[in-house]
DNA sequence: CGTAATGTTACCAGAATAGTAATCTTTCTC
DNA sequence: GAGAAAGATTACTATTCTGGTAACATTACG
């Protein structure tokens, strides 16, 4: 079906949730999990990955929690996607042309390279600052 | 890694091969399989699907083979992709928003809808007529 | 009828997915 | 310092998906 995995989607929920709060607000992972319908035993790994990648800043111990490492306006959807799906590459030969012996003369490869670049550009243009702003209008989510 | 499957890639090789021949040329599947490095026991299902979808016209029996059902210029890469990956949908909520309870207020969904539309538009713009023309220049492939 | 071709189905091994669970480490509060 | 509250890490599992193989069925030419 050619879709992103659940990990990636959950990650975007987490970042979006934080982007909707006051800048710099810190909140526990379990809290986000319950509000955003993320399996509570699952969110740990996701948060861990996001912080390894530099999207989240975490504080351990009692009274700790997670927060955005940077302003939401500087976090792109692409960054979150690539943290879980790896570098964008719509066909195996885009990331590493060597895997296909036909790559040298294959015009389809060029098409996939182009499609990947277009998608990457689109996702780079979507920041969580923009996304959070869209949700402020109708009713603010707890 | 978020890529198309091998089925889809093999399918594009088949269509490209036919697009490089004389218009209307008919050739056996086994021949394409050996020239384009497709597992020979695999190509059957792929050809079958492509013909069910209206991209290929097949002729059974001795002396039969496969050919494009329409001029290559009218066959888009999107069509081939969707024949194997299903309707383009970069996240589950794009194809059917009902699967996610958050969909009604989720701005990320809008982003995925947009990304899917952009990708779809790009792939619609790539026809095998164009692709075949690119390969005629350097050296014609057997 | 025999042969050459596609159509269809069943099957399989290995990988990926989605999720659970248990344990470790850090740090605050009392 | 004890205990509790948090995140970090790892191992495990069940299910599905993927890529591929194999066998058989169907069609058509000669
Ligand atoms: S056949 Fe072309 S598109 Fe397919 S993997 Fe090889 S180079 Fe890429
Ligand atoms: S959270 Fe938003 S993007 Fe994710 S599945 Fe639900 S509607 Fe779609």
Asked if residue A99 has its Cβ within 6 Å of ligand 1, the reply is: no
Residue B62: pLDDT over 70? yes
Could you give all domains of chain B from N- to C-terminal order, each with its CATH number?
1-75+127-142 (1.10.10.10), 87-126 (no CATH)
Q: What is the largest CA-CA distance in chain B?
A: 59
Q: Is the dihedral of CA A21, A22, A28, A31 positive or negative?
A: negative
**Nearest residue in B to A5, CA atom:** B91
Pinpoint the alpha helices (H) of B25-91: 29-35, 43-52, 77-85
Distance CA A36, CA A23 (A): 19
* A87-116 per-position pLDDT tens digit: 999 999 999 999 999 999 999 999 999 999
Residue B139: pLDDT over 60? no
- What's the pLDDT score for residue B1? 81
At A41, list the tokens: 């035993």
- What's the pLDDT score for residue A135? 81
Distance CA A37, CA A88 (A): 27
Residue A137: pLDDT over 90? no
Residue A127: pLDDT over 60? yes
Asked if residue B131 has its Cβ within 6 Å of ligand 1, the reply is: no
- Within 77-96 of B, beta carbons closer than 8 Å to A belong to 77, 81, 85-86, 88-92, 94-95
Output the distance from B62 CA to D30 C1' rounded to whole Å: 9
pLDDT mean over B48-69: 97
Residue A118: pLDDT over 60? yes
Which strand D nucleotides have any atom less than 7 A from protein CB atoms? 3-10, 18-23, 26-30
Output the distance from A122 CA to D24 C1' rounded to whole Å: 49
What number of C-beta contacts closer than 8 Å exist between A and B? Answer: 110
% residues pLDDT > 70 (chain B): 95
Neighbours of A104 (CB within 10 A): 9
The answer to whether residue A103 neighbours chain B at the CB level (below 8 Å) is no
At A47, list the tokens: 């948060």
Which of A99-103, B53-57, B95-99, B136-140 shows the lowest mean pLDDT across its residues? B136-140
Distance CA B114, CA B28 (A): 40
* B113-129 per-position pLDDT tens digit: 999 999 999 999 999 99
**Nearest residue in A to B10, CA atom:** A108
Residue A10: pLDDT over 70? yes
Which of A9-13, A54-58, B120-124, B137-141 shows the lowest mean pLDDT across its residues? B137-141
- What's the pLDDT score for residue A136? 61
């Amino acid at each position: 079906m050619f879709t992103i995995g659940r990990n990636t989607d959950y990650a975007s929920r987490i970042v979006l949730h934080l982007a909707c709060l006051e800048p710099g607000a810190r909140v526990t992972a379990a809290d986000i999990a319950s509000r955003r319908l993320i399996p509570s035993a699952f969110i740990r790994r996701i948060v861990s990955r996001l912080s390894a990648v530099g999207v989240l800043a975490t504080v351990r111990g009692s009274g700790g929690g997670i927060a955005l490492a940077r302003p939401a306006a500087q976090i792109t959807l692409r960054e979150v996607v690539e943290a879980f799906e790896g570098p964008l590459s719509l066909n195996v030969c885009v990331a590493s042309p060597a895997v296909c012996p036909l790559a040298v003369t294959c015009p389809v490869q060029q098409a996939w390279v182009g499609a990947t670049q277009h998608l990457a550009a689109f996702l780079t243009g979507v920041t969580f600052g923009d996304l959070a702003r869209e949700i402020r209008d109708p009713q603010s989510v707890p």
